[in-house]
């Protein structure tokens, strides 16, 4: 155990977060996300929801300060009547860690989101989140000590 580190951040995940550089991205997938199909580097955090994981990561990793939208959400498919109240929770969490708050977010079309994960995500973190459209991409910023 370490002092000051959220216990949900496993040694494996801490190592990967430390390896990531400025501009690298990570994807946190909900329970339905095809993470293993999109990446060879997958960390499973079954039993944990995306909000809990998001908050823990943002305690140790800043969002990219040099892009307008360092946070991406998977856009609801046209014609789908799904509601996404979890996005409000994400915006509250991000606002606690980044002054841009809701302005840090963009929505990405579903298949473009998958492609972005496959091409750009350093790691996919698979959660046990049951909310739909609960997937999120974070772009790492510069750590200033």
Tell me the per-residue pLDDT of 86-115, one tens digit each, with 9 for 90 and over. Answer: 999 999 999 999 999 999 999 999 999 999
Q: What length does the chain have?
A: 145
Tokens of 137: 């991409």
- 114-124 pLDDT per residue, tens: 999 999 999 99
Cα end-to-end span (Å), the chain: 22
Total-model pTM = 0.97
Query: Which listed residue (22, 48, 69, 97) is catalytic?
Result: 22
CATH number, domain 36-139: 3.40.1650.10
Q: Specify whether 22 is catalytic.
A: yes
CB burial of residue 117 (10 Å; 0-12, 13-18, 19+): buried
Read off the pLDDT of residues 12-69 as tens digits, 9 standing for 90 and up: 999 999 999 999 999 999 999 999 999 999 999 999 999 999 999 999 999 999 999 9
Q: Is the pLDDT of residue 1 over 80?
A: no
For the chain, give every domain's residue range: 36-139
For 12-51, the DSSP string reads: HHHHHHHH--TT-EEEEE-TT--HHHH-S-EEEETT--HH
109-88-108 Cα angle (round to 5): 10
- At 2 the pLDDT is 83
The four Cα atoms 62, 67, 69, 71 give a dihedral, to 10 degrees, of -30
């Amino acid at each position: 155990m370490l002092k000051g580190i959220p216990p949900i951040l496993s040694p494996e995940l801490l190592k990967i977060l430390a390896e990531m550089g400025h501009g690298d991205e990570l994807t946190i997938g909900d329970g339905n996300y095809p993470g293993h199909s999109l990446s060879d580097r997958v960390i499973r955090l079954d039993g944990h929801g995306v909000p809990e994981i998001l908050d823990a990561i943002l305690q140790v990793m800043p969002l990219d300060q040099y892009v307008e939208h360092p946070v991406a959400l998977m856009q609801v498919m046209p014609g789908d009547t799904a509601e996404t109240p979890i996005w409000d929770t994400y915006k509250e969490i991000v606002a606690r860690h980044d002054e841009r708050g809701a302005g840090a977010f963009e929505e990405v079309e579903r298949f473009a989101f998958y492609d972005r994960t496959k091409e750009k995500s350093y790691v996919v973190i698979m959660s046990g989140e049951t909310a739909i459209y609960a997937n999120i991409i974070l772009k790492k910023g510069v750590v200033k000590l």
